[in-house]
Chains A and B, each alone.
With several copies, the nearest count.
Chain A
Amino acid sequence: MPREWTTATRNPHATPARQPGRRTVPVIRVQALADTIIELTLQDAHTARTARPGQFVMLYTHDQSRLMPRPFGVAGTNGDTFTIIFAIVGEGTRQFSTLREGDTIDMLGPLGGQAFNLDQPGDYLLVGGGLGIPPLLYAAQRLAAKPDTRTTAILGYRDTRYADTRMQTHTPHTHSITNAQGDVLTLLNTLEPNPNPDQPLTILTCGPKPMMQAVHQWAQTHNANCQTCMEQRMGCGYGACVACTIPTIHGNTKTCTEGPVFPSTTIIW
C-alpha cells in the first residue's frame, strides 16, 4: 500500500535545529487533585517558553530497570515552570506520585510535531475526557490570551471533577459531567455550543478514543473544525522508533512527531 509519506515534504538537506536532550529538572510542587490524580510542577525554562498546547514531555522513572519514557501532556506554564497532571495507573506513575518538592526528575521535550492550532479566531469548544483534560487546560490558558476567541470547555470525569477550578481560571464557560450523570456527548447535545453561528467553530478534543470519535462525528454534523489529540504507547517520543503509530488516511502515522494532534478527519476511527 504505497502512500504519500508525510515527511517527504520536508527539505531533506536542511541542517536540523538542535533540541535540548534528556535532562534533570527540579520538582517545584506536587499537589493531589483527586484520589489518584496528581499535579506536578517542574522547572524547565525551555519547556515553559516553547511548549505549545497538545505537546507533551517525557518523564523517566528513577528506577533503573524501568527505562521507558512516560508521555504527559503539558497542562500549563508559568514563568520558568510548567505543570503536568497525571493519574496513577501503573508503576511509573506510582513512582512519580512519591516525588516531593526539591526532588529532581529526568525529562525530554517538549515533544510533539503537531500541536493544537489556535490561529483561527472565533469560537473554541474544548471537549475533554478523563486524563485527556490536561492538554486542554493548556489550550485554554493560551486561548484566554487571545482577544479574538471565546472558549467553552466541556469536561467529562470518571468521578472527581479534578480540573474544573483550573479550567475556570481560563474560561468561565466550563461545563462538566461525571460518568454517573452521563458523558460529554450528553453535555454537547444539551448545550448550545455554537452561540455565534457567524463565527467559525473549532473543536479541540482529547480523551478516550470512543469519546473523541463521537466528538468528531458531532463536529462533522455541526460543520466544525475538529482537532483530536491522540494517545499511543511510545518507544521514544522524538520520532526515531516508529512505535507510536495510529492508522490514519495516510497510513500508519507516528503519534509523536506527526501528532499527537491530528485533524479528526484524518483518523481512521
Chain B
Amino acid sequence: MTTYTHSTIVAGIPWKNPVATASGTFLAEASTQYYDVSELGAVTTKGVSPIPWEGNPSPRTAESPSGTVNSVGLQNPGIDHYLANDLPQLKQLGATVITNVAGHTPDDYIQVVKKLDNSPADMLEINVSCPNVNAGGLSIGTDPTTLYNLITDLRKTNQQTNSSSNSPPTVTDITTIAKAATDAGADALSLINTLIGMRINTTTGQPILANTTGGLSGPAILPIGLANVWKVRTALPHTPIIGIGGIHNAHTALEYLYAGANAIEIGATALLNPQAPHTIAQELETLLDQRPALAAKLAAGETWR
C-alpha cells in the first residue's frame, strides 16, 4: 500500500490524491479486481438512470488513432441496483465515490438525484454531455438555459451532496456553459466528456458502430481537454475543476493540474490497462514530490492558475 502525501480538495471534499477514475470506464466489480480503490483520490461510477437502461445496439466500440470511439448509450442497471450494490461495496472498500447521474429528461435526473440524497455518495457528477443518447445528455449540456434550469432544480432536490457538471467539449463556447452550471449552483465542473466521432469499415462501407457515431476519448483528445480546462479556469478563477480527457500517464495528469484543474479523472486509459489509475496515482505522487509549490496549492484546495 502506497502512502499518498499529496492530497487535494475538490469542492470541499478531501481526496487522498488528485487521481480519480472517469465515469463509464470504472465498474466496481470489474475494477476492484485490479487495485485497491481506497488508494485513489476518488472513483466515478457509471452514469446511473432512474430505471435500468439497455443502451445501444452492438458493436459499441471502434478503435481510432490514439483513441477509442464508444457508443454504450449509458446501459446501466438503474439507481436502485446502484444504491443496493455498487455504492455500498465501494464505500465499504474505503473509496471516495463520485456518482455520475444520467437522464433522458430533467425529471430523470431529478429522480436519481433525489434517491441519492442522504446516500453515502461523496459527490455527484451530472452527465449533461453524453453524445450517445438521443434525448438528454448532450442536448442539455449544449444549451446554457436548459442546463441552468436543470442544475437549479437538482440543487433544490439534493442540498447535501456536492455536484459537478460534466460539460461537453463540442460547444461553440465552453465558458458560457460552464458559467451557466456554476451560476445555477454546481460546486465544480468536470471537463471534458468525449467528442462525437465515428469510424467506417472500408470493406463494407458502413459505420463500425451500430449507432453510427460514438464518443471519442483517449490520448487523442488530450490537447482538447487541456484547452477547455485552461479556458474555463481563465474565465472562472475559483471554480473547482476536475480535468478529464486523454490522460495516459502521470505527466499528462500533471498537464491538467498546471492548466488549472484541482484533480483529474482517467477514462479510456483504464480500459487498456486496468491498473492504470492506480499506477498513475503512484507516479503522480513522485512528480508532486518534485513540485512542492503545485502540491501545496492542491493540498489547500487551490489551483496552479
Query: Chain A interface (Cβ within 8 Å of chain B)?
Result: 1-3, 5, 7-8, 10, 12-19, 21-22, 60, 64-69, 108, 232-236, 238-247, 251-252, 257
Contact = CB atoms under 8 A, between A and B. Distances in A.
Contact of A13 (B75, B76, B88): B88
A251 B75 CA distance: 10
A241 B72 contact: yes
B89 A12 contact: yes
B295 interface: no
A22 to B, nearest CB: 4
10 contacts: A2-B78, A14-B89, A67-B68, A67-B272, A233-B59, A241-B25, A241-B271, A244-B60, A247-B57, A251-B52
B27 interface: yes
A12 B88 contact: yes
A232 B210 CA distance: 12
Nearest to B46: A242
A108 B274 contact: yes
A251 B85 CA distance: 19
Given A66-B63, A251-B54, A238 B274 contact: yes
Nearest to B270: A240
B146 interface: no
A232 B88 CA distance: 31
B219 A244 contact: no
Interface in B6-44: 24-27, 29-35
Contacts of B54: 1, 251-252
Contacts of B118: none
Contact of B33 (A18, A68, A242): A18
Contact of B55 (A5, A7, A12, A242): A242
A257 B30 contact: yes
B52 A234 contact: no
A12 B93 CA distance: 11
Contacts of B25: 236, 240-241
A232 B58 contact: yes
Contacts of A245: 55, 58, 60, 75
Given A5-B52, A235-B68, A243 B61 contact: yes
Contacts of A238: 30, 33-34, 274
